[in-house]
Amino acid sequence: MNNNWNRREFIKKSSAATLAALAAGAPLTSLLSSCNSRRTNSKADTVILLWMAGGMAHTDTFDPKRFTPFSKGMNANDVLSTFKPVPTILDGVSFSEGLESIGSIMDKGTVIRSYVAGDMGHILHSRHQYHWHTCYKPPQSVSAPHIGSWIAKELGSVNPVIPAFIDIGQRFTLGEGEELKAFHTAGFLGSEYGPFLIPDPSAGLESVRPPLGMSSMRFEKRNQLYNDLMSKGAMGEYGSDYQKESLRRSMEQAYMLLKSPEAAAFDLSKEPKESYDIYNTGKFGLGCLMARRLTEQGARFISVTTEYEPFKSWDTHDNGHTRLIDMKKQIDGPVSQLVKDLEKSGHLDRTLIILASEFSRDMMVEGRPDLKVEEQVAQPDIIHDIKNYGMHRHFTDGCSILMFGGGIKKGSVYGKTADERPCKTVEKPIMIEQIHQTIYHALGIAEDAHYVVEKRPFYTTPDGLGKAEMGLFA
């Protein structure tokens, strides 16, 4: 495998895979896969993925180590955590300062402290995000479906009016936008299983109605023009009958939603002010509010992201400590309120909530200790400026994930990382194949679910070898 992929190569290969998927024809349902029917032993009906895009440092969030306050002239290698540890509701379990609200609800879920991200050489955020969301290392010969698309295909909609897969908060007009598009797709499964995109939850209603001032008749004509253009584009030229029919069905579903009363779930102005204000910490917080409203209306898979933009948010190549003060304010209240609201409404037991990031961070180690890769950030050995105080490098050997609902254990800690640098996984390592199969197991989707594409089986996890981690379930 080429471990030195750059962005241009990634885009080129991903585009080729997309065209290959269009020409692949209809995937054949495997005898081992039950499409559109959920197994009776499922523990959840809905999944909410809270995506901390950019690389969330485990030692400064949900797995704090020894705290070293900032001082000019300090030794960089002495810094493990830049925030004080604070107690959670669980005896003997602490989170990093600024995450007190999430810590107060950990009796309702599990913190995983031993996720190990994939080894792919030179670290590129979009490649690791592709791997996390599809379970496949890019590039692939065919376009790999997003986990939300697999779920939409296998289980269908809970409510036929609400899109089965909804993605909230990510724009594609930013850096690495084309690379991010590569995994925001249903791939060979077809357009109807792709994400319903809502870049800004505060304008969510605009996603389900014609533009202001446009009559229904004009909207119908514009839709016909769009279909004509599609028939003359790549889909019309290279797409199989299956893909064309899938696109037609996705457009029909959009019309259903447009005319339905359920569309009000996208209108956050209808939320009571007291509740709205709790969630209103920015786009991510409002995305959590929309996720709650959509779950109550029967969405199947919802992703809410803090949004990936190079060198911003969790992508802390500088000012790691000061940046995380703001990031924690964005997520702490909304995440805890989402869990509490779904529990209060009776939806939490059948909703699996996952909070995760593509990898972690460390001030000194790029990659993992026994497989270091090219360093991308200069970290001075002696820190004189607070901009160098924080977790700047990409670390793949110890990451934190939170899980709630969907049969997951309550008040539990899974796995462990070392207390001293390198703060790597030392107990119960868990890989992306296990995470995906754990999610599928909660939903009642078989481990060997697959489709035949280009005369070979394509599984939900590579070669169908992923196994659910049963120790996460109650």
Q: Report the distance separating Cα 267 and Cα 32, nearest Å.
A: 40
Please name which of 344, 339, 340, 316 lies closest in space to residue 328, comparing C-alpha atoms. Answer: 316
Pairing of strands 46-51, 351-356: parallel
Do the beta carbons of residue 165 and residue 304 sit within 8 Å?
Answer: no
The C-alpha R_g of the chain, in whole angstroms, comes to 22
DSSP 332-401: HHHHHHHHHHHHHHT-GGGEEEEEE-S-EEESS-SEETTEE----S---SEE-SGGGSS--EEE-S-EEE
Please name which of 366, 305, 331 lies closest in space to residue 174, comparing C-alpha atoms. Answer: 305
Q: What is the dihedral of CA 160, 165, 169, 172, to 10 degrees?
A: -120
Helix, strand, or coil (residue 20): helix
Q: Report the distance separating Cα 110 and Cα 189, nearest Å.
A: 32
Please count the residues of the chain. 474
Please give the domain boundaries of the chain with CATH numbers for all domains: 7-472 (3.40.720.10)
* Cβ within 8 Å of residue 34, ≥6 positions away: 154, 446, 449
pLDDT in single tens digits along all 474 residues of the chain = 445 555 555 555 555 444 444 444 455 544 334 444 445 589 999 999 999 999 999 999 999 999 999 999 999 999 999 999 999 999 999 999 999 999 999 999 999 999 999 998 888 899 999 999 999 999 888 889 999 999 999 998 888 888 999 999 999 998 888 999 999 999 989 888 999 999 999 987 776 665 566 555 665 565 565 556 555 555 455 555 656 555 555 555 655 666 677 788 889 999 999 999 999 999 999 999 999 999 999 999 999 999 999 999 999 999 999 999 999 999 999 999 999 999 999 999 999 999 999 999 999 999 988 888 888 888 899 999 999 999 999 999 999 999 999 999 999 999 999 999 999 999 999 999 999 999 999 999 999 999 998 888 999 999 999 999 999 999
DSSP 211-253: PTT--HHHHHHHHHHHHHHHHHSHHHHH--HHHHHHHHHHHHH
Helix H or strand E encompassing 275: helix 273-279
Helix, strand, or coil (residue 198): strand
**pTM of whole model > 0.85?**
yes
